[in-house]
Chains A and B, each alone.
Chain A
Amino acid sequence: MAEIVIGVGGLGASNSKGTTIKTYALGSCVAVVLLDPQTRTVGMVHVALPDSSIRPDKVASLPGYFADTGIPALLQEMRRCGTRGPQGLIVKLAGGAQIMDQNNTFNIGKRNALAAKKILWGFGLAPVAEDLGANFSRTVTLSTDTGVMTLSTPGRPAWHL
């Protein structure tokens, strides 16, 4: 069984049978997952920050680092695997954890999730499922065979989305 590991700011898509796409320890980062039921293609981008305007020079080498450049780049990667366009894609989101911060000063996780949703709306997409926020990091595993997302965090049983 092949495994594609997505690092921070990385992205990938596949429609090969028996493949899993995995990203480790999403703290405030958000995993945007796209599934195409027509071509059985699945893809994931590990977004770390909402907006590329803080470091445009980073976009060429790591477009997935930012929500505004990562989602278009993932859609492009999905197209390489045979997906025709954004219409009909299923979207799931996970991550966006936060520290215990009453004033939300450090709530990059929430901002990542909001930025991801805004960019997705621009393509006519909205998540059908999400597991966002709270105070724990998440490791996400995505199966090309089933499209099921499995989430885990240290010390608790895994769960599905």
Chain B
Amino acid sequence: MAQHNRRNEILAAIGRAPMLSVGAARIIDLAARADHELDDIIDLVKNDAPLTAKLLRIVNSPAYGLLEPATSVERAVSYLGENTVVSIVLEETLGPLLNRPLDGYQSAGGDLWRHDLRVAIAAKEIALLNPRRCQPDTAFTAGLLHDIGKSVLSGFLRDEYHRIIDELMTRAIPDYTAGEREHLGIDHAEVGFTLAENWQLPEIIRMVIRHHHEPALAPEETRALVYTVHLGDILAMMGGYGTGTDNLFYRLDQSYVDWLNFGPGQIGPVMLTVEEKFTETLQVMQLR
């Protein structure tokens, strides 16, 4: 009964979470479409004066070393690239959720955002190896949002994480999401999915959030993307960018081989590329 009450409490907390800004909702919607182009992003940015000013400030910072200052949205977006623009928009609008410490996971402020960014970059790299299965920019955006549920669930895990860790160490439960469900009646994937429904995020992004730890349960038409983010999540955790107490207590779904071309020999090179791109992206983000 207590667990049932916690679930209802958590669902109520999801309802109180901040709404997504109109600009952020539009850019996620656009980035999730397989057929979108950079011009679509440029058009969207043009209608957002504060975002335009921010992107121009970044691209004209000394780090970019432009000979002539960029004065147009077109030039700024071309220099930064779609993924960086999406990252800046999401961090701006979801910063209060993504950057706060996750006490229930014992992780510091910013850890969730860095994990999400790492997953996004890894998912895109895996998608680039599977261009017919998966749109790389959609993989990036889905990666940024996949763990949004942790920002809400964390507050309810403060008194529970010790028990979950003990159960994992004694193998009483199969993985961390099982511990969340056992103690709170809901896991971070379902919390994130419900939040994404409230925000009216595109279906494909909602499916990634819902099934990123159980990709085999995703609808078939979204499964390649869900597996991509599943693997990106694992590579981020292996690289030391987890979100605290949940550590690497998640299962690899071996059936990814039926959906993606990603052999054992590709793991190391992709991890190294992710490390390099992650460092570059963080540097750009710090220019804001």
Contacts and interface: CB of A to CB of B under 8 A. Distances in A.
Contacts of B245: 154-155
A136 to B, nearest CB: 4
B267 A155 contact: no
A135 B168 contact: yes
B240 A137 contact: yes
B162 interface: yes
A108 B162 CA distance: 28
A25 B241 contact: yes
B199 interface: no
Nearest to B256: A105
A21 interface: no
Nearest to A26: B240
Nearest to A111: B268
B197 to A, nearest CB: 28
B264 interface: yes
Q: Interface residue tally of chain A, by bracket? A: 20 to 34
A85 to B, nearest CB: 31
Nearest to A55: B272
Chain B CB count within 10 A is highest, among A50, A98, A135, for A135
Contact of A49 (B174, B237, B241, B268): B268
A136 B247 contact: yes
B282 interface: no
A39 to B, nearest CB: 30
Contacts of A28: 238-239
Interface string B239-273: 11110110111111010000000001001110110
A24 B240 contact: yes
Given A109-B238, A137-B242, A58 B248 contact: no
A109 to B, nearest CB: 7
B18 to A, nearest CB: 26
A97 interface: yes
Contacts of A26: 240
A103 B263 CA distance: 13
Contact of A137 (B105, B248, B275): B248
Given A137-B242, A155-B162, A108 B271 contact: yes
A155 B275 CA distance: 26
B150 to A, nearest CB: 13
A44 interface: no
A109 B234 CA distance: 13
B161 A27 contact: no
A93 interface: no
Contact of B251 (A29, A50, A100, A153): A100
B106 interface: yes
B252 A25 contact: no
A121 interface: no
A25 B267 CA distance: 19
B107 interface: yes
B74 interface: no
A99 interface: yes
18 contacts: A25-B242, A27-B239, A29-B240, A49-B272, A97-B248, A99-B237, A100-B174, A101-B252, A105-B254, A106-B234, A106-B252, A106-B267, A108-B238, A108-B267, A154-B247, A155-B165, A155-B244, A156-B165
Interface of A: 8-9, 24-29, 48-51, 54-55, 58, 65, 97-103, 105-106, 108-109, 135-137, 153-156
Interface of B: 105-107, 161-162, 165, 168, 174-175, 234, 237-242, 244-245, 247-252, 254, 264, 267-269, 271-272, 275
Query: What 4 pairs between A and B have smallest CB-CB spacing?
Result: A25-B240, A155-B245, A154-B106, A28-B238
Given A24-B240, A97-B247, A109-B238, 12 more contacts: A9-B275, A27-B242, A29-B239, A29-B240, A54-B272, A100-B252, A103-B254, A108-B267, A135-B168, A137-B242, A154-B106, A155-B162
